[in-house]
Amino acid sequence: MAQGEPPFKRVLLKVTGEAFCRAGNQGIDFEAVKHLAQEIADGKRLGVDIAVVVGGGNIFRGSVAHSKGMDRVQADNMGMLATMINGLALQSALEGLGLETRMLTAIAIPQLAEPYVRRRAVRHLEKGRVVILAGGTGNPYFTTDTTASLRAMEIGAEVILKATKVDGIYDADPMKVSSARKFTELKFIDVLKGNLKVMDAAAISLCMENNVAIIVFNLTVPGNISRVLSGEKIGTIVREG
Ligand code: UDP
């Protein structure tokens, strides 16, 4: 890597649905979406390929609806549609900042977005477009965290940037336990054994098997995406050995 060059060529950014609304709220908060788009735009200027997997928890979570009696598959389908709403909101905000984007969905909605085709996603990235990947994996019983792991491997991303509201992985919930200790580095196996709340076990296992690192960082701090992309050591990195 030449001096001053970002350490990554291609990253997969996983953004939870919660980043699209105000803390504790639901739905879409346009200021939150603008913040997210600005962060991505600033990161893009560093010349890194960015694909974004969007969650949908701010609108609909299949597991919650299922716990209230809804058929699981139907509920998860609604959850996947929710990620597409977020994807469209993000696309609009990114385009408002002058970025070229493409949204690809795992469930075809051809009037609104392209269907997800791996080669197409890669081609868009090569052309410098921000690629928004919505609709999860297209299958019920999965999450957008697992989608992020799967897509990272498919498109050859070197790292998953897992954007959260806290500045890394802790041994207890830092919002509730004042003595909670932050890890700067962890192994996949420790995340699985410690049942640490990073991404679900399926997502972690996929990353472990295919050796794709995960950096957990705080998206609410302006400039953090650019910091991570510049190689600044913020948050927690999960990787092999
Ligand atoms: N979902 C799904 N299959 C997938 C990805 C997501 O069925 O491959 C559904 C699931 O119901 C989930 C919802 O979409 O609750 C929203 O995704 P997620 O909960 O991962 O969003 P986030 O927590 O990142 O906001």
Q: Who contacts 231 (Cβ-Cβ below 8 Å, separation ≥6)?
A: 6, 7
What pLDDT digit, counting tens, does each position of 36-64 carry? 999 999 999 999 999 999 999 999 999 99
The pLDDT of residue 175 is 83
| pLDDT tens per residue across span 64-109 | 999 999 999 999 999 999 999 999 999 999 999 999 999 999 999 9
Tell me what pLDDT residue 163 has: 95
Q: 166 CA to middle of ligand 1, Å?
A: 20
Angle between helices 201-210 and 144-155 (to 10 degrees): 20
Query: What is the best residue among 20, 73, 80 to mutate for testing ligand 1's pocket, by most ligand atoms within 8 Å of CB?
Result: 80
Report the alpha-carbon distance of residue 209 to residue 21 in Å, rounded: 33
User: How far, in Å, from the CA of 20 to the mean position of ligand 1?
Assistant: 14
Q: How confident is the model at residue 10 (pLDDT cuts 50, 70, 90)?
A: very high
Residue 2 has pLDDT above 60, yes or no: no
Give me the numbers of helices (H) and strands (E) for the chain, helices first please. Answer: 8, 11
Residue 106 to residues 53, 81, 112, 113, 235, Cα–Cα distance (Å): 11, 10, 13, 10, 30
Say if pTM beats, i.e. exceeds, 0.75.
yes
Q: Are 18 and 56 in contact (CB under 8 A)?
A: no
What is the band of 4 on the pLDDT scale with cuts at 50, 70, 90?
A: low
CB 157, CB 51: distance < 8 Å: yes
* Among candidate residues 145, 151, 19, 26, the one with its CA nearest the CA of residue 87: 19
Residue 241 has pLDDT above 80, yes or no: no
For the chain, domains (ranges, CATH) are 10-239 (3.40.1160.10)
**Whole-number Å distance between alpha carbons of 14 and 161:** 6
3 Cα–ligand 1 center, Å:
39
Please determine, for residue 24, whether its predicted confidence score (pLDDT) is greater than 90. no
- pLDDT score of 128: 97
Candidates 33, 59, 83, 197: which one to mutate for ligand 1, based on the most atoms within 8 Å of Cβ? 83
pLDDT tens, residue by residue, 191-209: 999 988 889 999 999 999 9
Give the residues surrounding ligand 1 with Cβ less than 6 Å away. 16-18, 55-57, 61-63, 75-76, 79-80, 82-83, 136-137, 139-140, 142-145, 147
Residue 3 pLDDT > 70, yes or no?
Answer: no
What is the distance in A from the centroid of ligand 1 to the CA of 178? 30
Q: So what's the pLDDT on residue 23?
A: 87
Residue whose CA is closest, atom 13 of ligand 1?
79
Residue 76's identity, in one-letter code, is D
Query: 96 C-alpha to center of ligand 1: Å?
Result: 26
